[in-house]
A = this chain, B = another copy of it.
Amino acid sequence: MIRIGVIGCGYWGPNLVRNFHAIPEARVVACCDKEVERLQRMRALYPEVDTTTRAQDLLDAGLDAGAIATPPHTHHSLAKAFLSEGMHVLVEKPVAQSAAECIELIELAECRGTVLMVGHTFEYTAAVNLLKEIVESGEIGEVLYISSTRVNLGLFQQYVNVIWDLAPHDISIISYVLGKEPVSVNACGISHFSDGIEDVAMTTLTYEGGPMAFLHNSWIDPNKIRKMVFAGSKKMVVYDDLEVNEKIKIYDKGVEKLVCHDKQKLFEYSYRYGDVHSPVLEDFEPLGAECRHFVECITHKKTPRSDGYSGLRVVRVLEAASASLRQLGHAVNIEHPDFAEI
């Protein structure tokens, strides 16, 4: 039985508790939050769970694992404290506020032999895993470019801008699907409500040898949109996470460069318009799969799909985006773009 403590009982924490509850090999023993009303709500739902307003109580409780769902600026210090106690850690994205902090956590987890897993929930969805399969199979050919729109009205964050809040999803999905990391990042953004906290931004990721990816993130948009386009040299895929029935659509469409013997027309393309196919997806809650994976990694001493390196790769891109924002959109290189090592 894995004994787990959950810290942060705002929006996301209760979902973690609910999903861990459904796993026979795990038990949520304690919950922690600064706000007493939130703890009352947790007790009403789960009378057997201890609650506390002090993080230290979780550290002292002799738990096997901690799940962190607090605001982003607290992730690093809490994860560090848990790992130092020899606890396994599941931490929400972004795992930390700098690459250096991520590396510190990775090294600490390796040193203590514990699991460090990041809550890149989309890597546990049926849609993103199918997307990865499609891209890896070569069905859509070479990925030429990606565009991702993740916008909505509201849910302003206090300490992080819209890129640190929403783009981790885009970045982790794209890195997971492509299996590589961008070499440079451009970002332009604007803040309307809190000085220095961009609420709208456009981020461009450039990958060595292609593709380019455009990320549009906004907290100020009339409609909620969660949509990604992967345009390949053979086919194109649209992933619309808000579609109930046809989340993934594969368009058998493409461009072909013609060899042209007419010297007048040096240049000629043909466009292929074909069928549209939407594969059925298995229906399950991604967070459930994520929580089961965490428990399984602990039990069988496995490396999680979304491990510390995965979190590091996302944070490196976010850091570069922040630097680019400060330089008015100038391209900022990512220092160590090797995909799976520090």
Interface, chain A (partner B; CB < 8 A)? 47, 144-145, 147, 153-154, 156, 158, 184, 186, 188-190, 192-194, 200, 202, 204, 206, 210-212, 214, 216, 218-223, 229, 231, 233, 236, 238, 245-246, 249, 251-253, 255, 257, 266-267, 269, 271, 273-280, 328-331
A251 to B251, CA, bound (A): 17
Q: Taking the nearest CB of chain B, how far is it from the CB of A192, in angstroms?
A: 5
Contact B222 A204 (CB under 8 A): no
Measured between alpha carbons, how far is A251 from B76 in the docked complex, in Å?
39
Please measure, in the bound complex, the distance between the C-alpha atom of A223 and the C-alpha atom of B219, giving whole angstroms: 25
A–B pairs, 8, beta carbons within 8 Å: A144-B190, A153-B273, A186-B188, A186-B328, A222-B253, A246-B276, A274-B280, A275-B279
The reply to whether B280 and A277 contact each other, CB–CB distance below 8 Å, is no
List B contacts of A202 (CB < 8 A).
202, 204, 214
Q: Is A276 within 8 A of B245, CB to CB?
A: yes
Q: Contacts A212-B188, A214-B202: A231 and B221 contacting too (C-beta < 8 A)?
A: yes
In the complex, which of the residues B186, B236, B328 contacts A221, with contact meaning CB atoms closer than 8 Å? B236
- Contact call B271/A153, Cβ cutoff below 8 A: yes
Complex Cα spacing A221 to B251, Å:
10
Report the minimum CB–CB distance from A4 to chain B (whole Å).
20
Known contacts A186-B328, A236-B222: A278-B280 contact under CB 8 Å: no
Chain B nearest CB from A127 CB (Å) reads 14
Residues of B within 8 A of A278 (CB): 275-278
Q: Please tell me if the beta carbons of A238 and B223 are within 8 angstroms of each other in the complex.
A: yes
- Collect the chain B residues with CB atoms within 8 Å of residue A271's CB: 153-154
B194 touches A145 (CB 8 A): no
Q: CA of A190 to CA of B47 in the docked complex: distance in angstroms? A: 51
Q: Are A280 and B269 in contact (CB under 8 A)?
A: no
User: How far is it, in angstroms, between the C-alpha of A30 and the C-alpha of B233 when the chains are bound?
Assistant: 43
Q: Is the CB of A210 within 8 A of B231?
A: no
Measured in the bound complex, the distance between the Cα atoms of B251 and A329 in whole Å is 30
- Given A184-B328, A222-B231, A274-B280, do A267 and B153 touch, yes or no (CB 8 Å)? no
| Residues in B whose Cβ lies below 8 Å from that of A267 | 156, 158, 194
Given contacts A212-B188, A253-B153, A278-B277, contact A222 B194 (CB under 8 A): no
In the complex, the answer to whether B204 meets A188 with C-beta atoms within 8 Å is: yes
